[in-house]
Amino acid sequence: MSDSTASHPIWSNRLTYILATTGAAVGLGNIWKFPYIAGENGGGAFVLMYLLCILLLGIPIMVAEVMLGRKGRANPVHAMLTQARSAGVSKGWSLIGIMGVAAGIMILMYYSVVAGWSLEYVFQSATSSYIGKSPTDVAAGFGVLAQDTTRQLIWHSAFISVTAFIVGLGVTRGIGNAVNILMPMLFMLLLLLLWYAYNNGEFMRGLTFMFSADFSKLTGASLLTAMGHAFFTLSLGMGTVMVYGSYMPESQSIPSASVTVAFLDTLIALVAGMAIFPLVFASGLEPGSGPGLLFETLPIAFSDMWGGAFFGTGFFVLVSIAALSSSISLIEPGIAWLEKLGITRIKATVGLALLCWIGGVASIYSADVFSTLDYLTANIMLPLGGLLIALFVGWRLGYTRVRKEITGVSNGLFNIWFVVLRFITPIGVIVVFYESIKGLFGA
Ligand code: PHE
């Protein structure tokens, strides 16, 4: 089946689903955000909480969300509508889809700015512009970029345009083909950089920082950050895996595909950490230095290391590719929805891309807009979306309906998943919300 038929598109094969969804999952979250939030929250204990959230909240919700998409064979709003109708429950559940479309667009409004920074650093690395400079000068280079609104605007516009171009080409022809090329490149580059960090960085110190847990550093707020990040990094709770699931071939097993994607995403976050923290320490920087971390540390490391311009270029190409395969998945739920409402794919793409572009401009001019968009989406909207998905599938859809769609697992495993989804996942999300709100009021 292809995009040109009137019916809903389907990925050309199972691997494309895996690559597209892994592409959605692996992004700036893994390479840019994870290292600095782990750094800000003390390292090891935070990493453990995040892994726990992936296991108890992330994977069960991913299975549920993908299932809603494949069963509904539509964008998140209509997929929820049909299923609410067939289960005889309120149409209000389709709000999950609408909130998801909004979250995707809100994320892209700052995501594209960060992707723009990484394009700038591809350029700076390839032209050796920070090579041989002193560490202080190199680190200050990011501050200069953060003030240079014109330059950020150019890269942000370029990134949104490429995203729109790929998505505009369609699901199989645009997104499917893109991920088939981008993802193998991403894997190769990451291995190359791991090797580089192993040889040039303080590798053991990096590992110790990531894996030695000091639980006294954990607060309600850091717990919320860990949970929010688990949702963010797996692209959950906002319709991305739902819409990608709606293009999934019927014969594919949802649980095994989901476990594969979650495993790859986690592996890549950890490997990225193993490539980055050793270089952070070797550069004499602190891992908790905030959103600029990646763009200060890595250039410092590359500036005086053997092959720095080459590996620096490779690294920032890697970051840009990871961002691109995610940005297309951030905008796709909205596009699929508008298409269903009768707007052509091209018009929908241009319209939403423009909206994201405007939001991006606001993020460039105001750090508050930037961080509010990030906080609202990752820490509130995605976990809330995930909670509602767990409640809907666990308590509203009905056991038999769900069992029919979840193939490739024994009854025993299915039952474990269903119990986790009904009880553990919702309680987990609610407890973390509660703990962080409590913290907010100083109780
Ligand atoms: N998972 C992506 C990342 O880690 C971000 C993302 C979130 C993409 C939600 C799609 C949907 O960078």
Please give the angle made by the CA atoms of 30, 319 and 37, to the nearest 5 degrees.
35
Tokens found for residue 71: 């069963």
pLDDT in tens, 200-239: 889 999 999 999 888 888 888 899 999 999 999 999 999 9
Ligand 1 contacts CB of residue 110 (under 6 A): no
Ligand 1 contacts CB of residue 24 (under 6 A): yes
pLDDT in tens, 384-396: 999 999 999 999 9
Tokens found for residue 182: 């981008």
Task: Quote helix, strand, coil % in the chain, to nearest 5.
Answer: 80, 0, 20
Cβ neighbors of 26 (< 8 A, separation 6 or more) are 186, 264, 265, 268, 269, 322, 325, 326
Q: Pick the residue with more confidence: 336 or 39?
A: 336
Phi, psi (rounded to 5 degrees) for 161: -65, -45
Ligand 1 contacts CB of residue 25 (under 6 A): yes
Q: Which amino acid is at 225?
A: T
Q: Is the pLDDT of residue 277 over 50?
A: yes
Whole-model pTM: value is: 0.95
Q: In a mutational test of the pocket of ligand 1, which residue from 22, 229, 329, 382 has the highest number of ligand atoms less than 8 Å from its CB?
A: 329
Q: In a mutational test of the pocket of ligand 1, which residue from 62, 118, 167, 235 has the highest number of ligand atoms less than 8 Å from its CB?
A: 235
Q: Is the pLDDT of residue 355 over 90?
A: yes
Rounded Cα gap, residues 379 and 113, in angstroms:
20
Distance 26 CA to ligand 1 centre (A): 7
Ligand 1 contacts CB of residue 232 (under 6 A): yes
Rounded Cα gap, residues 282 and 155, in angstroms:
29
Q: Is the pLDDT of residue 3 over 50?
A: no
Atom number in ligand 1 closest to CA 326: 8
Q: Which helix (H) or strand (E) holds 188?
A: helix 177-200
Ligand 1 contacts CB of residue 329 (under 6 A): yes
Tokens found for residue 326: 């995610």
Mean pLDDT score, 411-436: 94
Tokens found for residue 176: 């499917």
Q: Pick the residue with more confidence: 20 or 301?
A: 20
Ligand 1 contacts CB of residue 235 (under 6 A): yes
Q: Is the pLDDT of residue 288 over 90?
A: no
Distance 27 CA to ligand 1 centre (A): 6
Residue located via tokens 């998140």: 76
CB 352 within 8 A of CB 105: yes
Mean pLDDT score, 295-314: 89
CA dihedral sign, ordered 255, 256, 261, 264: positive
pLDDT in tens, 86-107: 999 999 999 999 999 999 999 9
Cβ neighbors of 129 (< 8 A, separation 6 or more) are none
Per-residue pLDDT at 226: 94
pLDDT in tens, 92-147: 999 999 999 999 999 999 999 999 999 999 999 999 999 999 989 999 999 999 99
Report DSSP state, residue 252.
S
Confidence of residue 442 (pLDDT cuts 50, 70, 90): low
Q: Which domains does the chain have, with CATH numbers?
A: 2-441 (1.20.1740)
Mean pLDDT score, 166-188: 94
